[in-house]
Amino acid sequence: MDKNTITGLVLIVLLLIGFSYFSRPSQEQQEAFKRYNDSITIVKQKEEALREKTAAALANEKEIVTIDSTSTFFNAIEGVEGTVVIENELLTAVIDNKGGRVTKVTLKEYNDQEKQPLVLFDGNEMMMNFYFYNKKEAIQTKDYYFIPVNQSEMGVTMRLVAGEESYIDFIYQLKPDNYLLDFTIQAVGMENLLAHSVDYLNIEWSQRARQLERGSVFEKRLSNLTYKYVADKTDNLAEAKDDEETIDRRLNWIAYKNQFFSSVFIADQSFSENILKSRVGKEGNDYIKDYSSEMRTSFDPKGEAPTTMHFYFGPNHYKTLKAYDKGKSGDSKWKLNDLVYLGWPVVKQINQWFTVNIFDWLSSWGLGMGLVLFLMTVLVKIVVFPATWKTYMSSAKMRVLRPEIEKINAKYPKQEDAMKKQQETMALYSKYGVSPMGGCLPMLLQFPILMALFMFVPSAIELRQESFLWANDLSTYDAILKLPFNIPFMGSHISLFCLLMTVTTILNTKYTMSQQDTGQQQMPGMKWMMYLMPVMFLFILNSYPAGLNYYYFISTLISVVTMIVLRKTTNEEKLLAGLEANKTKNKTKKKSGFAARLEAMQKEQERMLKERQKK
């Protein structure tokens, strides 16, 4: 091969490489091609799923007829585009002729962020499709036009007509002052047109959950797909990530939950064969979650027994939801009030029996929500005051013994005598009847009560769009300063109530530590750790509701005032005299089991330390 041939081949190779490089599709084209392939794949998957669903439904159908798959509802393939509006005092529901489904719900007593009546969903944001089965194939209601009949202000029957005497009715009925929409499916004259062996219908239900509150991060955290097992507890898919569950057990209901509002689908005959999916919405769009479900429920193709279901379109208000169990007993209860998250079991009980009732009682006075939260905080402080008093007295007793502790510190200045110093300190406390752990148990006892409001406030719909001082909405953060950049964990704003809470907590920490200075040496870095925690709260709670930070601010402020008052009213000379009296009494008393075990452990540690030093 001569030189010219080699040069030509090299040029051809370089030309091909250059052509491949410059003619390759752009990133946008690659993504578009990927979306196209994905859509083709999804369509094929749906077609395959439909074939499998139909085959399973008709597996036991023995009768062979000559009815064409499109002839059952042939006249309903085309129809008139239109909607029907039904309403009561609380909500308006729009029902579309195409598919006979609810396409829009407006809640009259609540507003969106533009102060307009709140729309829960509209148009294709909510999709619902029912599968019926004739002798050969599945009939999907989304493909057919229904005819509205028996229309009234609060109800309508959407009819899918097969013939003069053959049809399927979707019956929608609202009740006065109620968020519940009753939904009944009834077959009439369909026994020769539907498969006899299929005593169920399949349902597909999806909804795009709108961002209804300011600050999508926190709203996403409290929005999820929740479901309830028949005669059992409720559960939910993950809030913070995409999640999917296949559930073989029967379900009472499935709920698509926002922070303060929910769409709930309830089946009297229960749901089975459930496939539930939740997808987190992308940042920057108007939707926080995409929910979808596939399930089945009972259906009588002969029309002897109707399929009864219900929709709840309304607020996540604890007592409103709990009222739907009135008159029900045991396993028949819906337990829709579980949609309002009130915390872990112990905290939940406190909120159910104490917080919710006190909050409603104070709200019934017609007070503003800021004042209601203030009074709630005061009541909580009154309830936990006995524990606060015990904690304070424990630290006060140790404080008046500080001169004695300083004598022990002077007696054992060396590090290697730390064990002896500790033993003598404990012996001193025991002699005076003072327990260093005396303030810990009361603090632990009041912790669940203090946590109850932490769980309750973010779920309290009563705070939504309620203003107080500079906060326009107590259910979301009160941004006093907008930042042109994003701070990790904190966001792009500064919440004033959160800032006030942080400063007050630092001052409280400083004052408390000065009051608890008993002369004993603290662990290195412990002091700075106590100051670091309030700063961490600034980052953690900055995007939390203003009502919650306001509660913590007032609670901490009351704590500071309480400690100042207790310090001013405590006669330390009298307290020390009482301890001296205890000292005399304790000389004749046997050491408590805890003190004796602690002393034995210290002596054993001292012995082991001496042995190591000898070696």
DSSP 478-545: -EEEEEEEEETTTEEEEEHHHHHHHHHHHHHHHHHHHHT--SPPPPTTHHHHHHHHHHHHHHHHTTS-
Question: Which backbone phi and psi does 540 adopt, to 5 degrees?
Answer: -70, -45
Cα separation, 140 vs 205, in Å, equals: 13
Look at 278-287, 312-321, 361-370, 463-472 and tell me which has the smallest mean pLDDT: 278-287
Cα separation, 370 vs 17, in Å, equals: 70
Checking if the pLDDT of 64 tops 50, the result is no
Residue 36 binned pLDDT confidence (cut-offs 50, 70, 90): very low
Cα separation, 555 vs 551, in Å, equals: 6
Residue 92 binned pLDDT confidence (cut-offs 50, 70, 90): very high
Cα separation, 612 vs 614, in Å, equals: 5
The 10s digit of each residue's pLDDT in 176-212 is: 999 999 999 999 999 889 988 889 999 999 999 999 9
pTM for the whole thing? 0.80
The residues that bridge with 130 in the sheet, in sequence order, are 203
Checking if the pLDDT of 527 tops 80, the result is no
Average pLDDT over residues 112-121: 94
Report pLDDT for 63.
45
Which of the listed ranges 270-274, 283-287, 342-346, 382-386 does the model predict with the highest average pLDDT? 270-274
Q: Which residue has the higher pLDDT, 324 or 67?
A: 324
Report pLDDT for 80.
87
Token code pair at residue 173: 């009925």
Q: What share of the chain is helix, strand, coil (3-state, %, to 5)?
A: 45, 25, 30
Look at 226-230, 565-569, 608-612 and tell me which has the smallest mean pLDDT: 608-612
Cα separation, 310 vs 308, in Å, equals: 7
Report pLDDT for 324.
96
Q: Which residue has the higher pLDDT, 283 or 467?
A: 467
Average pLDDT over residues 504-518: 74
Query: For the chain, what percent of residues have pLDDT higher than 90?
Result: 49
Average pLDDT over residues 428-450: 67
Total count of residues recorded for the chain:
615
The residues that bridge with 129 in the sheet, in sequence order, are 204
CA atoms 321, 232, 457, 242: torsion sign: negative
The residues that bridge with 290 in the sheet, in sequence order, are 208, 279
Whole-number average pLDDT of the chain: 82
Cα separation, 332 vs 231, in Å, equals: 7
Cα separation, 317 vs 456, in Å, equals: 11
543: Cβ contacts below 8 Å, ≥ 6 apart:
215, 217, 218, 477, 490, 491, 495
Average pLDDT over residues 364-381: 92
Report pLDDT for 3.
59
Residue 559 binned pLDDT confidence (cut-offs 50, 70, 90): confident
Checking if the pLDDT of 534 tops 70, the result is yes
Cα separation, 322 vs 314, in Å, equals: 13
CA atoms 29, 31, 37, 43: torsion sign: negative
Average pLDDT over residues 238-246: 94
Question: Which backbone phi and psi does 353 adopt, to 5 degrees?
Answer: -95, -20
Average pLDDT over residues 585-597: 54
Cα separation, 8 vs 77, in Å, equals: 66
Residue 171 binned pLDDT confidence (cut-offs 50, 70, 90): very high
Residue 21 binned pLDDT confidence (cut-offs 50, 70, 90): low
Average pLDDT over residues 287-302: 95
Report pLDDT for 4.
55
Average pLDDT over residues 343-353: 90
Checking if the pLDDT of 41 tops 80, the result is no
The CA distances from residue 203 to 45, 130, 171, 591, in Å, are 17, 5, 16, 71
Token code pair at residue 178: 């109620």
Q: Which residue has the higher pLDDT, 426 or 148?
A: 148
Q: Are 203 and 296 in contact (CB under 8 A)?
A: yes
The residues that bridge with 34 in the sheet, in sequence order, are none
Which of 272, 226, 231, 234 lies closest to 250 in space, CA to CA? 272
Checking if the pLDDT of 312 tops 70, the result is yes
Report pLDDT for 6.
61
Residue 262 binned pLDDT confidence (cut-offs 50, 70, 90): very high
Report pLDDT for 330.
85
Q: Are 94 and 85 in contact (CB under 8 A)?
A: yes
Report pLDDT for 609.
62
Q: Which amino acid is it at 269?
A: Q
Checking if the pLDDT of 217 tops 50, the result is yes
Report pLDDT for 303.
92
Query: For the chain, what percent of residues have pLDDT higher than 70?
Result: 73
State the Rg of the chain over Cα.
34
Which of 390, 402, 610, 441 lies closest to 521 in space, CA to CA? 402
Average pLDDT over residues 113-131: 95
Cα separation, 362 vs 398, in Å, equals: 40
Report pLDDT for 508.
83
84: Cβ contacts below 8 Å, ≥ 6 apart:
94, 95, 97, 148, 151, 156, 158
Cα separation, 43 vs 37, in Å, equals: 10
Checking if the pLDDT of 498 tops 80, the result is yes
Spell out the domains of the chain, with CATH numbers in brackets. Answer: 50-334 (2.70.98), 352-586 (no CATH)
Which of 53, 75, 57, 54 lies closest to 143 in space, CA to CA? 75
Note every long-range contact of 117-125, with CB atoms under 8 Å and residues 24 or more positions apart, other chains counting.
118/212, 118/261, 119/210, 120/210, 120/261, 120/263, 120/313, 121/207, 121/208, 121/210, 121/263, 125/207, 125/208, 125/210
